[in-house]
Structure 1
Amino acid sequence: MRFKDKVAVITGGASGIGKEVASRFIAEGGSVVINGRDTAKLNAAVRQLDPTGKRAVSYAGDVALPKTGEAIVQRSLDQFGHVDVLFNNAGVFAPKPFLEVTEAEFDRFLDGTLKGTFFTSQAAAKAMKSAGRGGSIVQTGSMWALQAIGATPSSAYSAAKAGVHALVKNLAIELAPDRIRVNAIAPAVIETPIYYTFLPPEQVKAALPTFNALHPLGRNGQAADAAEALLFLASDQASFITGVVLPVDGGVMAGRQ
């Protein structure tokens, strides 16, 4: 098992990609600390992930606050003694035309996505360096930070995710001497509950199938597609890989049919 006796901190871990990563990490021998802002949702996720409560715990808090990142990492240290992997998966997505984005909305994207990723990575890296065990930080970036899609105007979101991609390169170099690898995935359309945060259910069900054709492989991605790539980058199978932003996009960045 790839993650036997390893511990992962997973932000945005109560649903979607984060929850899928948590489930698979546990199945492969590891333990997890999942984070989100909804305590009830986190508790339900923990019960589903590990009914014994021995290999899955949670910490509720907004990662836009640096103290939350510190507290999540400390929860891992207190519960399991160490942290080996950080999956920065928390973030918000809500398409909106550039000319209509307010300062408050812009700040929401930067705080929830870029600032949260920055300071949670900092807290995890400090713990990893102190332990001297090395480690892996894997960010969930975005294809929208690499290529604009006219149907989903996302300038603020894309700018925040582009910052996450830049962090990957910089942290990979800075943390390499401590054997801490830093990578990211850049997913295209992944069918997760995030779409229900800004569209009613009937619109989500109608809209998602229209994006199948965006991907040369002819379908939208699923949480499992993103999770498999994240887990690979976190594992020892990728021990010679750092500073990479891996497209998980059904071929979108390759070109058009």
Structure 2
Amino acid sequence: MSLPERTQTGVATNVMLSARNAQNRPVVNYSGTVTLTSSDPLVVLPATVTFVNSYAQFKVTFNTSGTQTLTATDNATTPLTTSKQTAVAAPLVATQFVMSLSERTQSGVAANVMLSARNAQNRPVVNYSGTVTLTSSDPLVVLPATVTFVNGYAQFKVTFNTLGTQTLTVTDNATTPLTTSKQTAVSAPLAATKFVMSLPEQVQTGDGINVVLSARNAQNQPVINYSGTVTLTSSDPLAVLPATVTFVNGYAQFAVSFNTIGTQTLTATDNSATPLTTSKQTAVSG
């Protein structure tokens, strides 16, 4: 039996059982069912568990502090049994939150935020499952009103829409509330000034070719908030391609088939007031 030497009350623990022979080799044809018992009167565990290919796996939650024993016994005529002890400690208590939020964000672009519940020694408290309220100094922010922790962690997205230094604050609803705040510098979103197209220099007629378009700014940085729609055209009158394609997170992908031999051009043009456009040539052979 594999059972950690130390566990916490109220926290589910993984247990693995393995059927072995006298030489301690796994017995892959063993498929017995064992009964599970514990010295902990408040334990939560399945009454029985069945082996598959010599192994059985389950979860057990101890709820009484101190040294506790877990026992597994099969129902054979000559029963097999094993026991193992674990030191069950009181659960860690969350005394603080740690927030990960990028120091720099862009207005209108969703940013990932991660929260971790920690104890006084800054260790993760995996049994924390509280719900926190989210607020921000940005009056135009888009974020969930609340978020709930799972196994001591919570993750969500926030979109700031006001330029400057903005603060994100999380507060739980405990009697003595836990709270944390973090600032981020919100800048204007990057503006797309060009497209970059990936198209092979040589292709064969009739072959489906994957093409990727990337929206870039003047410094050639990807503009992930660009979500425009572009019109696709080609010098090949027999080309097979979508009429339009829409960007997602600054990228667009589609397939094109050229069917006229020679140098052919593919062009993408958006429908903005000042249209962005790009073209690329490829040598089409038979």
Which range, TM-score by smaller chain? under 0.3
Query: Greater relative contact order: 1 or 2 (C-alpha under 8 angstroms, separation 6 or more)?
Result: 1
With structure 2 as the length reference, what TM-score do the two structures score?
0.18
Q: TM-score, normalised by structure 1?
A: 0.19
User: Which has the larger helix fraction?
Assistant: 1
| Structure of greater Rg | 2
Greater fraction of residues in strand: 2
